[in-house]
Amino acid sequence: MSEYQGIPDDRKKVGKVGEVLKGNGLLDPKYSLAVWNHSPSGFAWGYEGSGPAQLALALLLEETGREEAVKFHQDFKRDVVARMPEGRWYLTSEAIQKWLAERRGK
């Protein structure tokens, strides 16, 4: 099971831009940007926007296939990423998989 952690960049005055760790490594936005370029400036959370859309897509690409990630990432952004606290946050693979299972059932 993976754990994701958002670390805000307090030096940025606009938005909630920051880095995301997966385990002990950094979640690189390059792969998700190659699938859908929402936010070349990076990941963000705590609101509905392009940075949160990029993060939602990246997290779902880690947890499921490309087709499902693209299909569900806007809903995941609204349901999960936009509701994350502005500061540090944690999210497990288990929580993402639970969200996906509920979404697949609809």
* pLDDT tens, residue by residue, 68-96: 999 999 999 999 999 999 889 999 999 99
| pTM, rounded to two decimals | 0.91
Is residue 42 within 8 Å of residue 34, measured between CB atoms?
no
Look at residue 13 and tell me whether its pLDDT is greater than 80: no
- How many of the other CB atoms lie within 10 Å of CB of 73? 25
Q: Which domain holds residue 17?
A: 3-104
Look at residue 34 and tell me whether its pLDDT is greater than 80: yes
| Sign of the alpha-carbon dihedral angle for 35, 37, 38, 40 | positive
Average pLDDT over residues 38-52: 92
Under the banding of pLDDT at 50, 70 and 90, the label for residue 23 is confident
Residue 12 has what pLDDT? Answer: 55
- Domains of the chain: total: 1
| Sign of the alpha-carbon dihedral angle for 44, 49, 55, 56 | positive
Helix (H) or strand (E) holding 53: helix 50-63
Residue 16 has what pLDDT? Answer: 56
In eight-state DSSP terms, residue 64 is S
Separation of alpha carbons 50 and 68, rounded Å: 19
